[in-house]
Amino acid sequence: MIRDRGNLFKASLLGHHGPFFFDLTENGIPYPDTEGTELANSAAAEDEAARALFEIVKDQVPGGTFRQVAFQVHDGTNISLFEVKVTCEVTRAAHSDDRPLEA
């Protein structure tokens, strides 16, 4: 396990491999990953995090206006390897009344 910043730097150079832990935060509410996922390297973990976030946010935005989800990815310590974040915000014009636009 990586315990300090020096080892974190070495691991990033060597290409850290699993397990990776994907702690989800959705609209400020944390959901820690307690099991982890075995992946080949950090690039695979970044790809997995991005794909998972897009699956999560493709659903309707709760309340119709804002949704933010993020993964803090770590190796089982409190040291974050990286974060992947997606924000979806709908900003309606002041005159909007939910009528469809006419062509």
Residue 69 counted as domain residue: yes
Q: In the numeric block, which tokens belong to residue 26? A: 């959705």
Q: Identify the pLDDT of residue 5.
A: 44
Give the full edge-to-edge strand order of the sheet including 29-31: 29-31, 21-26, 66-74, 80-89
In the block, residue with structure tokens 């974060």: 83
Expressed as residue numbers, the domain containing 49 is 5-89
Query: How confident is the model at residue 30, as a pLDDT?
Result: 96
**Does 97 fall in a domain?**
no
As a whole number of angstroms, the distance between CA 63 and CA 21 comes to 29
Residue 61, pLDDT score = 65
Q: Which two tokens stand for residue 84?
A: 């992947």
- Residue 103 forms part of a structural domain: no
Q: Is residue 95 part of a domain?
A: no
> Chunked in runs of 10, what are the mean pLDDT values of the chain (103 residues)?
42 62 94 94 94 83 78 91 90 70 55
- Put simply, whether the predicted model's pTM sits higher than 0.85 gets the answer no
Q: Name the domain count of the chain.
A: 1
